[in-house]
């Protein structure tokens, strides 16, 4: 791992704001896509607007809602959660009156895990004051493989292709517009994170997404892009899986493997220390132990140490990249 790398790729135009990506369809992008900072989407319709993801804490979600209100006086009547993680669903409760839709596994995990306020405060401390204000609002409508809405004169597909970033990932596909809201199936210039997913299947899901008739892809984290960026993310997953398998067979620990793998250009993607949880999850995949949760304390301690080595400070000092 290139632990001395400190210059992150920052594509031109990557800033927080809302952008029209098709007629009456918008992407809401948050720079710079690090832990807890995700993207969302919006489809305007005279019968009621539809949002894709609710962001994490009230301040984020309220800025998104303000952007929506500037475009339409109609409320959001339907909200899609692409998966259960708090950075995509924490703000659900602020979409008052909206029907919340997700894959079945997303809702199940949201209900099971609830809102772990203290854990989030420890892991994402810069938003610590906002987490106690969150209120659970799990989905009320779920699907298994495919669900189709007919809205704003177009067909809107919600699809699930199996475990990837999580076991309940959904994406929103607008065939008429060749547009995809990928959720966290896509990370652009931000290191993918698979601590609750299945890296091997994520690669297969990426291959299937690349076969869709799509020109524009809104990732869960990072700037708006297309298939080029999706191929780059897939290549990262394939690289880490291949190199992790070699080191697993050699008997290296996950921490040893994370330091040994050479990331090349991906060392300049944001939060490259995520290689550790990715390798920890891959070792579980190789041992057929994906039903087991990761050791979060070990994972976050290890990531802090990798960040410290990269930036040249002690592991207990703050690191602005992730706090």
pLDDT digits (tens, 9 = 90+) for 53-80: 999 999 999 999 999 999 999 999 999 9
Please give the pLDDT value at position 314: 57
Rounded Cα distance, 148 and 173, in Å: 10
pLDDT band for position 2 (50/70/90)? Answer: very low
Please give the pLDDT value at position 317: 42
Rounded Cα distance, 63 and 68, in Å: 9
pLDDT band for position 315 (50/70/90)? Answer: low
pLDDT digits (tens, 9 = 90+) for 150-201: 998 999 999 999 999 999 999 999 999 999 999 999 999 999 999 999 999 9
pLDDT digits (tens, 9 = 90+) for 10-36: 887 799 999 999 999 999 999 999 999
Q: Strand 76-80's sheet: what is its strand order? A: 17-22, 25-29, 40-43, 49-52, 76-80, 99-103, 141-143
Is the CB of residue 264 less than 8 Å from the CB of residue 28?
no
pLDDT digits (tens, 9 = 90+) for 79-133: 999 999 999 999 999 999 999 999 999 999 999 999 999 999 999 999 999 999 9
Can you name the residues that pair with 19 across neighbouring β-strands? Answer: 27
| Interval 196-218 mean pLDDT | 98
How buried is residue 204: exposed, middle or buried, by Cβ count under 10 Å (0-12/13-18/19+)? Answer: middle
Rounded Cα distance, 100 and 102, in Å: 7
Secondary structure percentages of the chain, helix, strand, coil, to 5: 40, 20, 40
Q: Look at residue 3 and tell me whether its pLDDT is greater than 50.
A: no
Rounded Cα distance, 198 and 278, in Å: 9
Architecture per CATH, domain 17-227, reads as 4-Layer Sandwich (3.60)
pLDDT digits (tens, 9 = 90+) for 221-271: 999 999 999 999 999 999 999 999 999 999 999 999 999 999 999 999 999
Please give the pLDDT value at position 32: 96
Q: Strand 154-159's sheet: what is its strand order? A: 146-151, 154-159, 171-174, 179-187, 216-221
- Which of these, 155, 149, 147, 166, lies nearest to 213 by C-alpha position? 155
pLDDT band for position 316 (50/70/90)? Answer: low
Rounded Cα distance, 83 and 167, in Å: 8
Please give the pLDDT value at position 313: 66
Structure tokens at 204: 């297969």
- Which of these, 74, 1, 91, 4, lies nearest to 40 by C-alpha position? 91
User: Which residue ranges make up each domain of the chain?
Assistant: 17-227
DSSP 51: E
């Amino acid at each position: 791992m290139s632990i001395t790398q400190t210059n992150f790729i920052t594509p031109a135009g990557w800033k927080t704001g809302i952008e029209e990506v098709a007629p009456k369809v918008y992407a809401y992008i948050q720079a710079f896509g690090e832990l807890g900072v995700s993207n969302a989407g919006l489809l305007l319709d005279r019968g009621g607007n539809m949002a894709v993801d609710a962001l994490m804490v009230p301040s984020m979600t309220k800025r998104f809602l303000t952007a929506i209100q500037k475009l339409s006086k109609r409320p959001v009547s339907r909200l899609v959660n692409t998966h259960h993680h708090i950075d995509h669903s924490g703000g659900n409760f602020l979409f008052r009156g909206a029907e919340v839709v997700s894959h079945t596994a997303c809702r199940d995990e949201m209900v099971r895990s609830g809102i772990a306020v203290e854990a989030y405060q420890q892991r994402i401390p810069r938003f610590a004051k906002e987490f106690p204000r969150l209120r659970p609002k799990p989905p009320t409508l779920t699907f298994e493989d495919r669900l189709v809405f007919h809205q704003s004169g177009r067909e809107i597909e919600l699809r699930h292709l199996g475990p990837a970033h999580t076991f309940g990932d959904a994406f929103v596909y607008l065939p008429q517009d060749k547009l995809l809201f990928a959720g966290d199936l896509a990370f652009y210039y931000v290191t993918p994170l698979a601590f609750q997913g299945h890296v091997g299947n994520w690669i297969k899901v990426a291959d299937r997404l690349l076969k869709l008739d799509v020109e524009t892809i809104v990732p869960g984290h990072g700037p708006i892009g297309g298939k080029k960026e999706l191929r780059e993310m897939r290549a990262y997953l394939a690289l880490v899986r291949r190199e992790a398998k070699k080191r697993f067979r050699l008997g290296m620990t996950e921490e040893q493997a994370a330091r040994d793998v050479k990331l090349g250009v991906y060392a300049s993607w944001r939060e490259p220390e995520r290689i550790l949880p990715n390798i920890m999850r891959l070792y579980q995949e190789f041992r057929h132990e994906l039903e087991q949760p990761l050791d979060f304390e070990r994972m976050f301690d290890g990531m802090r140490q990798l960040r410290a080595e990269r930036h040249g400070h002690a592991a207990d000092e703050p690191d602005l990249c992730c706090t």
